[in-house]
Amino acid sequence: MKVLVVGSGGREHALVWKISQSSRVSKIYCAPGNAGISKMAECISIKAENISKLIRFAEEKEIDLTVIGPEVPLTKGIADEFEKRNLRVFGPSKDASQLEESKIFAKEIMLEAGVPTGKCEIFEDHDKAIQYVKSQPVPIVVKADGLAAGKGVIVAKTKEEAVEAVELIMVKREFGKAGDKIMIEECLVGEEASILAFCDGESFIPMVTSQDHKAIYDGDKGLNTGGMGAYSPAPVVNEDMMKTVSSQVFQPIINKMKEKGMSYKGVLYAGLMITESGLKVLEFNVRFGDPETQVILPRLKTDLIDIMESCIDGKLNEACIEWKDETAVCVVVASGGYPGSYKKGEKITGIKQAEELRDVIVFHAGTALNREKSLVRGTALAEGNIVTSGGRVLGVTALGANIEQAINKAYEAVGKIHFNKMYFRKDIADKALKYLC
């Protein structure tokens, strides 16, 4: 079968990597892809948001399955448009994608379904929002309602920071229309974890647990990013907690969405905070997480294509999904200055040496080919022909028998990679070490 993967980041590289292992797949396309993806799929210069062009391509190439990576095309209704043309697609509908598109919508669904979550207030007027934060204890969380590339959540430690956050989102319009409305939420204290589940509209099967690292600096300090690293499993989520997540989060949400005529098919991502009083849901995403995918898929033993098709066909209850016992750690290597401004086009070296290490996979995110050198036949992916093209550049993933082994291996691999002003956190997965004591 022929598969089209939509997107260009580390998540999409991980998806292409896993899909390429399926004996059922004869050809993979990726739109638009990146330098790393081009090694195992044919990259097509169509942007992920260009739904009409993607449909024409899928029809012309007789694509058997299209897998949607990023959230934006999902919220624009790409799955609906593909289905209208009898094109098989893995991803939720436009209506169902509101769970990520609008934090306010997600909160309302959670409250209706009885899902444990933090208290909040919603504002459309920035003056009223400022008056409110001045009256509340700190720290407090200010969230842009819409999509903001993982950066629209600001944890304000003082009232001055809270006022600045409101102004940044609603007055300065840092995130554009995403800041038309904001949600001001109590600051939950605890340890975060990510649990993703495959869903077919009726049933669901949770994946192995993982934990993302959002903040740019060690010790979870600094601005939020799209994610600076992840590891799996997350020991903060034990067997009893997994049962609670299934019964109090996934099942109620799947039921409520079906009740509202928004049957949920695809991957549902629950971002959790494990507090002293129990779990609380911070957010939902309607697709594979990034970089969580880079530590989850390397642990998956079952054919991903089989799982996706069972979700599409409403037969997930017949699926048997198996996972490897190994631990996985992913360290994101970023451009200096990210999540603010950064320079593109920096030459990257050492990727080949990193990949030569056993059980190490280097997933490309913000990479491109050096156009001048790529014109020389046979040298497109040679050392030095890959350059930076984004904030998060690479996701260096390592598998190990335990968390310590995976951490050491991941950082050994990172140490072989170099480019100007390269930056990475040095404490990825350290939170898991305390559970070894």
Structure tokens at 401: 């028998």
Domain locations in the chain? 2-91, 125-180, 191-318, 327-436
Taking the CA atoms of 410, 412, 414 and 417 in sequence, report the sign of the dihedral they define.
negative
CATH number belonging to domain 2-91: 3.40.50.20
DSSP 168-210: IIIIS-TTGGGGSSEEEEE---SEEEEEEEEEESS-EEE---B
Contact 216, 200 (CB under 8 A): no
CATH of 327-436, one of 3.40.50.1950, 3.40.50.720, 3.90.600.10, 3.10.20.520: 3.90.600.10
Q: Is the pLDDT of residue 380 over 50?
A: no
Residues 6+ apart with CB under 8 A from 424: 228, 229, 331, 332, 333, 334, 414
Question: How many angstroms separate the Cα of 194 from the Cα of each of 10, 156, 164, 225, 401?
Answer: 17, 22, 29, 16, 21
Query: What element of type H or E holds 224?
Result: strand 221-224
Q: Is the pLDDT of residue 203 over 80?
A: yes
Other CB atoms within a 10 A radius of the CB of residue 124 amount to 11
> What average pLDDT does range 167-194 have in this prediction?
94
**Helices 126-135 and 159-166, interaxial angle, to 10°?**
170
pLDDT digits (tens, 9 = 90+) for 228-260: 999 999 999 999 999 999 999 999 999 999 999
- Cα angle at 361 between 224 and 320, to 5 degrees? 90
Q: Which residues face 78 on adjacent strands?
A: none
CATH number belonging to domain 125-180: 3.30.1490.20
pLDDT digits (tens, 9 = 90+) for 132-153: 999 999 999 999 999 987 778 9
CATH of 191-318, one of 3.40.50.1010, 3.20.20.70, 3.30.470.20, 3.40.50.1980: 3.30.470.20
Contact 82, 55 (CB under 8 A): yes
Q: Is the pLDDT of residue 371 over 70?
A: no
Q: Is the pLDDT of residue 373 over 70?
A: no
Q: Is the pLDDT of residue 378 over 80?
A: no
What backbone torsions phi and psi does residue 357 show, to the nearest 5 degrees? -70, 145
Q: Give the per-residue pLDDT at 375.
A: 41
- First and final CA of the chain: distance in angstroms? 48
